[in-house]
Structure 1
Amino acid sequence: MKSLHLATLVAALGLSGFAAAYFVGDGTPAPQGSPESAGKVALAKPAATASDSSTARQILFVEPGSFSLTSEQGEQVDKSLKASYLGRGGFIFAEPDNATFVAHPSITWLGRTGYRIDLRTSPGLAAGTYSGFIDVRVCRESPCVNIIPGAQALVAYEVIVKSDGSEWVNTGEWRTFQRNAAHDGYIPVKLKPERFAYKWEWKRTTGTSADRNFINSVATEDGQVFVSEDISATPWLYALNEADGSERWKQQFSLEKRPALNPPATAGGKVFLTTTGSTSTYLWGFKATDGAPLMQSAFSVQWDNQLAPTVHKDLVYINGGYYGGTVLAYDINDGILKWSQNSGGDDDMATPAVDDNNVYHYDGIGLKVYNAATGANVANINDPYTPEQGYSYHSSPMLGSADNVIAFSGGSFSGLGASSAEQYGSRPLVNYSVTGYNTRWRSAKKYLTQPATAGGVIYAGSNNPKSFDAIDEATGQVLWSWVPGPEDIEFHRNVVVTKNLAFVSTNRAVYAIDLATHQPVWSYPAPGMLAVSGNGMLYIVEGARTTTGRLIAITLK
């Protein structure tokens, strides 16, 4: 019988493993060994043992001597090392120094002096750069106590895991109607539906049968979600903890003749909202952390209901006017009125859109554009499509790509004096060019949902015919559609879009639609108004046309 060249092969990491043995001389496998005990091989770089010799001839060689791998997040990558052992007898071990690689890499005899060590990166590595070494050694015994002199090699590695965009990054809070001053409903993150999970819910308990327990759309700021009561003589504004829905503070309003407490907006550690009616009409500001009052600025309206204020830079913008059609701009710090502009027309259930240069207001007959800092008139662009006028607008202009302002054509009506109620009427969308002083197109279909836009595509739900459409911003043509089943009779409320998903509500559920496959990949059995916080919480203010007073929180990360 030939002499034993390497008696036993053992793949171990110092955790519970399983030894494999080979007789190199004749290639006959030896019986399987017993499970190793945990912790028998140190994960740190080994100290020299009594058998080590600084003058020992190197008899273990590993190629490559170092390596670098690159992978996408969620991907596992394989790497093989080739070892050559020129000694006689012993146990060979391969030990990653940390959890970058899967435990217990397999070791395969290649014949004569050669061995292959098969490594695989661990699942679930977060985006980033990982470095360390693979400790390859041959020992006299198993578990390893004495390294055979000259039989150890440290292979340095670097593993770069690229983000797939699905790690949650706080890209900003949900601050106002359709998230931001552009009202585009866009969250620039990539989401994985398998991570979505119900967290908590909160329910309004202060209402009477006359109040109907309505609540408004929400806003978020620094780990809090703010929700206001609708339809009440003594409504409350609540600050809830995003982690568990517990109440941090609340502020009550005693209002004359039951005017409206409207939806909140946030900016700079502050919460803003309006109370409107024929009296008690104010823009209010509170400290977000504790509810301390910061401002109370009077303005004129007649029994209005409004959307949330729009905040941009150091100004807070609202709609108002005793006879409607007015845009007002207030200082964010002291509540002093900086300017106002009145064009007449629709006023109720509206808020302007704002960018660094301009303020955009649809007044029922066209788009009005004002200088954001001074209120000076920039452009008046008529809606050429004979819009149906009404006291209420139930929307805001939406800012898309450069010089693309999308707005519903004409007003609408909810039949309820409630800022939380959805309008009945569907309307076409119109794309305005401010630099061209004209319109580009009007959509062929009418839409009910508040649209969202990202990457030159507009997303909106239509109920006749029923479909959720992706619309080309440049042409107004429908790029693709999703049609839900018969149990989902209508689309409702607002659309939220991310890098890979669009969220939309029907009369019975909220769906996440994959933008690549155009099919739903997640749903939750409650319809309602949608918002997504900077902490990755999806909020559903339950209710298709009117709210139930229930706020549902679902984590997206």
Structure 2
Amino acid sequence: MNFAPAALEVIAYEGAPRTLEVAVKSSRSIDSVVNVGIVADRAGLLEGVQVERTAEALSYKAKLTLSTTMGVGEYRGALEIRLCYDEPLTCARPVEGAPWLLPYTIVVRKGTDLSPLRPLAGAKDWGMYQGSAQHTGYVAATVNPGAFGRRFRVELPETTESSEIAVAQGLVALVSGVVPYIPWSVHGIHEATGAPAWTVATADAWVQFNPPALADGMLYTVSSGSPSLWSFSAADGVLLNKTYLGSQRKIHLAPTVESGAIFAAGGNYGGMSRIAAGGAGVDWSKDLLWSSHWTPAVQGSLAYAYLADTLHAIHVADGATAFTIVDPALGGSGYTAPGAPAIADDGAVFVSRVAFRPDLPYTGLLRFDPIARSLSWSVATQVLSQPVVAGETVYALEGGALQARSARTGASLWSWNAPSAFAGKGGQVDPLPLVVVGDLAFFCTIDGTMALDLKTRQIVWTDPSIGRLAVSANGILYIRGTTELVAVNLH
């Protein structure tokens, strides 16, 4: 018998469920019916075991559920894998070669630390997609992995589409729902404790709430089905305004808020709209293209959208087109990448062309120069994430690696290969999560959320949860999965 992994190295949290998968490959077939048993060398280690055959010959998959009663500490030992012609508990008639041992090291960490919230120097409210109206995904703060620890974990209603969260002024905002089975809701959660602040549900089966934005004491979300901007009081969830946008029934990212104004997908057949502060009516709408899974980026007097092979720059004052820059690599294909432009401090605009179908060969990373009104550079690469802009460096998940590039030239500075495939919960076409905090990059693989030291290129922290990522002004890392929200103290 061969096992993958050959030894279990597991991080779990006190009181939280944890399920492991082990691939089992037999070197030969067994003619008779046998029983399988997985026996722990100590009581209270396993809560459940499930073994099933896979499509590959002589291959099986074992799901092991750890006990939630395990205390904080480190556990070392070995699981005994039994194949028996009789009952596995006694196994008086074992299959030749049985039993086999699967070594394990299980580290159980403290599951809750509700220490007083403290601002993290350099961090700001994560009020919208990738943190701000510029969508850089970068937090200019210094954190020490040795101080990381779970603040709380709360269970959430299932969500199958885009599940980005927003965090501002001590409130976590998110939406939940499953099309077309579970009605959609908007939730406010206290950052200090993880306790619910309020929940607003819609009884309209045609309404799907998209990810929220938090700004100026308001929560904003654009609905699909009945395309409108919903404006709630962040304090108590009271609906203050509902503004019809006239866009098509598409899924979108969180609206972008800058200087009080709200920018979102809108227009008669798709495009961009500016809505007055508080959601008090549409100031203007600009028809651009019928598309989904995007949101504008805003800096100064211009709002940007990358749609149909083209970077559109729109005057925020009146919605007039300032200029457009065509992406020549696509040659008028009409392809629109999901996500949003990311704007550097110097005004340069970066775009990830993420292909949401395997038959689309249009993947790549681009830099536009709004002053020269030209494409500065483009790199053909299998980009999977938003670009994260941190000073003179732009980071992205590319293929199986985290890639660091020169923001000015696009040249590769270094590349680090991930130990397993990148992952991220949410809509299937959304860019995968990537956030940089100081010298640490946070991302998800199929094995969990990881922090990579950008100087040493070593993994310095892991968590078994997977999901969309956000970092609050109080130095809390959030991992929003399909059915859970995990908060991690970063200082």
The letter for the 2-side match of 1:366 is: T
Q: List aligned pairs for 1:153-232, cutoff 5 A.
A: 168-169=120-121, 171-205=123-157, 216-232=163-179
Q: Distance in 2 between matches of 1:451 and 1:395?
A: 10
Matched, 1:290 2:236: yes
Asked whether the 8 Å contact 2:367–2:378 carries over to 1, the reply is yes
Partner of 2:409: 475
Partner SS, residue 139 of structure 2: coil
Q: Quickly say closer, same or farther: Cα 1:293–1:197, change in 2 above 3 A.
A: same
| Structure 2 unmatched runs, 5+ | 1-117, 425-431
**Shift of residue 508 of structure 1?**
2.0
**Shift of residue 400 of structure 1?**
1.5
Q: Distance in 2 between matches of 1:387 and 1:521?
A: 43
Asked whether the 8 Å contact 1:330–1:337 carries over to 2, the reply is yes
User: Which stretch shows the higher mean deviation, 231-240 or 187-196?
Assistant: 231-240
| Structure 1 unmatched runs, 5+ | 1-165, 416-422, 543-547
Partner of 2:223: 275
Q: Distance in 1 between matches of 2:141 and 2:131?
A: 14
Question: CA offsets, 1:365-421, max 9 Å, x none?
Answer: 210001122212111100111168567632001101413100123x74379xxxxxx
Q: Distance in 1 between matches of 2:279 and 2:293?
A: 25
Partner of 1:364: 308
- The structure, 1 or 2, with the larger RCO (C-alpha pairs under 8 Å, 6+ apart) is 2
Q: Quickly say closer, same or farther: Cα 1:273–1:498, change in 2 above 3 A.
A: same
Asked whether the 8 Å contact 1:448–1:491 carries over to 2, the reply is no
Question: CA offsets, 1:45-85, max 9 Å, x none?
Answer: xxxxxxxxxxxxxxxxxxxxxxxxxxxxxxxxxxxxxxxxx
Partner of 1:351: 295
Q: Distance in 1 between matches of 2:233 and 2:360?
A: 36
The percent of aligned pairs where both chains have the same amino acid is 29
Question: CA offsets, 1:510-544, max 9 Å, x none?
Answer: 111112112221111222210011111111112xx
Partner SS, residue 146 of structure 2: helix
The letter for the 1-side match of 2:209 is: L
Question: CA offsets, 1:451-482, max 9 Å, x none?
Answer: 2111111111112xx21011111111110111
Instruction: Give the aligned CA root-mean-square deviation in angstroms.
Output: 2.4
* The one of 328, 333, 338 aligned to 2:278: 333
Partner of 2:32: none
Partner of 1:402: 346
Q: Distance in 1 between matches of 2:241 and 2:374?
A: 39
Q: List aligned pairs for 1:474-553, cutoff 5 A.
A: 474-485=408-419, 488-490=420-422, 492=424, 493-542=432-481, 548-553=482-487
Q: Distance in 2 between matches of 1:380 and 1:255?
A: 38
Q: Distance in 2 between matches of 1:469 and 1:290?
A: 42
Q: TM-score, normalised by structure 1?
A: 0.62
Asked whether the 8 Å contact 1:449–1:491 carries over to 2, the reply is no
Question: CA offsets, 1:479-504, max 9 Å, x none?
Answer: 0111122xx12355221112221111
Q: Distance in 2 between matches of 1:541 and 1:389?
A: 34
Asked whether the 8 Å contact 2:266–2:286 carries over to 1, the reply is no
Question: CA offsets, 1:93-124, max 9 Å, x none?
Answer: xxxxxxxxxxxxxxxxxxxxxxxxxxxxxxxx
Q: Distance in 2 between matches of 1:478 and 1:241?
A: 41
Q: Distance in 1 between matches of 2:218 and 2:293?
A: 22
Across the two proteins, how many residue pairs are aligned to each other? 365
Q: Quickly say closer, same or farther: Cα 1:507–1:322, change in 2 above 3 A.
A: farther
The letter for the 2-side match of 1:330 is: I
Matched, 1:393 2:329: no
Partner of 1:545: none
Partner SS, residue 229 of structure 1: strand
Q: TM-score, normalised by structure 2?
A: 0.70
Q: Distance in 1 between matches of 2:255 and 2:124?
A: 17
Q: Distance in 2 between matches of 1:361 and 1:202?
A: 35
Q: Distance in 2 between matches of 1:176 and 1:335?
A: 19
Partner SS, residue 178 of structure 1: helix
The letter for the 2-side match of 1:452 is: V
Asked whether the 8 Å contact 2:444–2:466 carries over to 1, the reply is yes
4+ residue runs over 3 A deviation = 212-215, 387-393, 411-415, 423-426
Partner SS, residue 265 of structure 2: strand
Partner of 2:38: none
Partner SS, residue 236 of structure 1: strand
Q: Distance in 2 between matches of 1:185 and 1:377?
A: 26
Partner SS, residue 220 of structure 1: strand
Asked whether the 8 Å contact 2:423–2:466 carries over to 1, the reply is no
Larger proportion of strand: 2
Q: Quickly say closer, same or farther: Cα 1:490–1:221, change in 2 above 3 A.
A: closer
Asked whether the 8 Å contact 2:256–2:295 carries over to 1, the reply is yes
**Which structure's CA Rg is the greater one?**
1
Q: Distance in 1 between matches of 2:294 and 2:220?
A: 15
Q: Distance in 1 between matches of 2:453 and 2:361?
A: 28
Partner of 1:313: 259
The letter for the 2-side match of 1:223 is: G
Partner of 1:413: 356
Partner of 1:148: none
* The one of 175, 199, 203 aligned to 1:254: 203
**Shift of residue 364 of structure 1?**
1.9
